[in-house]
A and B are shown apart, each in its own frame.
Chain A
């Protein structure tokens, strides 16, 4: 119940294309869903986050789509660029007293020029 399942494990997209990464969860107590971007040798950096009372959030080329009934959320990267090549992690936080972030397994994105 504490898991967040992320897919695909790796993704190759041409420059200008759309990258889509999906995550699914079981715990209905999760109340915060951030996405992190991690470059080699660096710590994860918050990219965009959403709460379950919102179905979509857009920031620049990055959009989170959230489907509460299906318990799924996804990251869309529009007009993907080679500089977007990184590992992306979805995460979820339980709204109970635990507050800890549960991370997905990560998606390695490669954007070809």
Chain B
């Protein structure tokens, strides 16, 4: 069974630009969560999608948005990039909403660098 895949793996953008990151969950998984990982703030929850609906949202500005398609694939968009958005963006999938009965599996992440 293929794992969670994220594309692209590396991305360099400049301030003010926007970026779209893609995540393909494990086959059969319907929930996709996004996390931002930085050395200073650690792993922070961005949002979770289940059956094309955003179920949960972390404390990030509106510049961060996402969506999920009918095949459970998800995209995350960051508009008007700031230097502080440089991070590893991780996607995780689970069969149902992440929790005790639905283990989350993480992808390798997309390393975003904002210059």
Contacts and interface: CB of A to CB of B under 8 A. Distances in A.
Interface string A44-58: 111001010000000
Interface stretch (A16-24, A63-71, A73-81, A95-103): A95-103
Given A43-B4, A43-B90, A105-B42, A93 B98 contact: yes
Contact of B99 (A44, A93, A105, A106): A93
Interface residue tally of chain A, by bracket? 20 to 34
A32 interface: yes
B100 A51 contact: yes
Nearest to A102: B45
Q: Chain A's interface: helix, strand, loop or mixed, by majority?
A: strand
Contact of A101 (B45, B105, B108): B45
B104 interface: yes
B90 A106 contact: no
A105 B108 CA distance: 19
A100 B58 contact: yes
Interface in B85-115: 90, 92, 97-100, 103-109
Nearest to A33: B100
22 contacts: A31-B99, A31-B100, A32-B99, A32-B100, A34-B104, A42-B108, A43-B92, A43-B106, A43-B109, A46-B105, A49-B103, A91-B43, A93-B99, A93-B100, A99-B56, A99-B97, A100-B98, A101-B33, A103-B35, A103-B43, A103-B44, A106-B43
Interface pairs A-B: 10 shortest CB-CB? A43-B106, A103-B43, A100-B45, A32-B100, A105-B42, A100-B56, A99-B97, A44-B106, A43-B108, A43-B107
Interface of B: 4, 33, 35, 42-45, 48, 55-56, 58, 90, 92, 97-100, 103-109
Given A43-B106, A44-B106, A103-B42, 15 more contacts: A36-B106, A43-B90, A43-B107, A46-B103, A49-B103, A89-B43, A91-B43, A93-B100, A100-B33, A100-B98, A101-B45, A102-B45, A103-B35, A103-B43, A103-B45
